[in-house]
Amino acid sequence: MEPKSGVNFKIMAEVKKIAVIAGDGIGPEVVGEAIKVLKKTEELFGYKFELEHGLFGGIAIDEKGTPLPQETLDICQRADAVLLGAVGGPKWDNNSKELRPETGLLGIRKALGLFSNIRPAVVFDCLKDASTLKPEVLEGTDLIVVRELTGGIYFGEKFRREGAGGQEAVDTCVYNVQEIERIVRQGFEIAQKRRKKLASVDKANVLETSRLWRETVNKIAPEYPDVELEHVLVDNCAMQLLRRPSSFDVIVTENMFGDILSDEAAMLTGSIGMLSSASLGEGSFGLYEPVHGSAPDIAGQGISNPIATILSVALMFQLTFGYAEAAEVIERAVKQVLDAGHRTGDIAVDKSQAIGTTAMGDLIVAAMVR
Ligand code: NAD
């Protein structure tokens, strides 16, 4: 039946629900700038975002007596994606485990079934000097580490026992085919949307879990013929990230290797205020957040760098909503503002020229054009 108003409903944008969880410290400051970017995207592209705000972390402990209130979880569960600021701070550092903001982080990932962590490491040319590596090595670096988040040695059985050499400690590393397959598929699919290169990282010369990992990768690789696959041993990967970072596109690996390699890759970029991340589950749902914490040392001063959170919105557009053009508009705007020489304190060489959080957000929004 034709709609009476004559409006073509097919071209009306679907409303995307985003749960917004600002958290503690600089969380609300940086999330505020990311919301401006969402609004500007609505204007430019006609998309519609419905934002629902929830309490999480220290502020939720203060107001609701728990770091992860059920109503916040409900907001996340009915959303298409979650935008998270940061949680934690000295006020709650001495609380018991269940009343610590970080406990809420583990809880939310588990409740939302998030099994992978995605961390891009992009070196902006104008910030090459901020890294400890030589600028010519970093040139063109634009990679993503896809880390398995819920299995492996961090979650295996742990115990102590008496042995011939005194007390022994045991950590077990377990992976099954299903766990490996779902994360490796994510790696292939992300590579397909990028430069179509996947490095699968393992320690197959020593570890049985790695041998199963490699077998599984090889079994599903023919389903992605457009993606060039290489297997890299984890120790070699650690070296190659420092020697030839620009040759990587997507790196997929298990939990502990990914924990270490994603921190190493992060340091290529020079500043924690620039790093976005996503945690994904089945389907397109994802939780997006800056890699940094709540930075209590600078909270409330209006000087934090909002770029990591703004780039997390770009990642949300790419991975959850499939809004590739809008993601590019954001990334281009960030680059343009940096190229023009604008810097927050954390990335400024001359600190006296640094601009504040809101000014940086406003400049990026103003630079967003189709
Ligand atoms: P942090 O990332 O908060 O801060 C480390 C340093 O980087 C600080 O000097 C800080 O001022 C600076 N920094 C971080 N983000 C910045 C930004 N956007 N702009 C400018 N400078 C920035 O790490 P931390 O100090 O180890 O932890 C502080 C609190 O955050 C702790 O309570 C910790 O548990 C929590 N934390 C939370 C998360 C999360 O919410 N996912 C992650 C890490 C740490």
> Per-residue pLDDT for 11 more than 80?
no
List, in order of start, the domains of the chain with CATH numbers.
1-114+282-370 (3.40.718.10), 132-268 (3.40.718.10)
16 is catalytic: no
91 catalytic per annotation: no
* Entry pTM: 0.92
Q: What's the whole-number average pLDDT of the chain? A: 94
**How far apart (Å, rounded) are the C-alpha atoms in residues 225 and 130?**
38
**How far does residue 307's CA lie from ligand 1's centre (Å)?**
14
Instruction: Please say if 235 is a catalytic residue.
Output: yes
With a 6 A CB cut-off, is 100 part of the ligand 1 pocket?
no
Q: Is 102 in the pocket of ligand 1 (CB under 6 A)?
A: yes
Q: What is the pLDDT of residue 128?
A: 85
Higher pLDDT, 232 or 9: 232
pLDDT at 103: 87
CA dihedral of 119, 291, 18, 322, whole degrees rounded to 10: -20
Q: Among residues 203, 224, 288, 346, which one is catalytic?
A: 203
- The residue to mutate among 87, 117, 292, 364, having the most atoms of ligand 1 within 8 angstroms of its beta carbon, is 292
Report pLDDT digits (tens) over 33-71.
999 999 999 999 999 999 999 999 999 999 999 999 999
What integer pLDDT is reported at residue 97 of this predicted model? 86
Calpha distance 187→169 (Å, rounded): 33
User: What pLDDT shows up at residue 12?
Assistant: 64
Q: How far is 162 from 104, CA to CA, in rounded Å?
A: 35
Catalytic status, residue 263: yes
CA of 294 to the centre of ligand 1 (A): 5
CA–centroid distance, residue 105 to ligand 1 (Å): 14
d(CA 106, CA 83): 16
CA pair distance 68, 313, nearest whole angstrom:
22
pLDDT in tens, 242-283: 999 999 999 999 999 999 999 999 889 878 899 999 999 989
User: 171 an active-site residue?
Assistant: no
Among candidate residues 62, 74, 235, 339, the one labeled active-site is 235
Residue 188 — φ and ψ, nearest 5°?
-60, -45
Ligand 1 lined by 304 (C-beta under 6 Å): yes
Edge-first strand order for the sheet with 81-86 is: 48-53, 15-23, 81-86, 286-290, 276-280, 116-122, 142-148, 250-253, 197-202, 228-233
H-run or E-run covering 338: helix 324-339
Any atom of ligand 1 within 6 Å of the Cβ of 87 = yes
pLDDT of residue 256: 97
What are 137's two structure tokens?
């090595």
Rounded CA gap, 24 and 295, in Å?
9
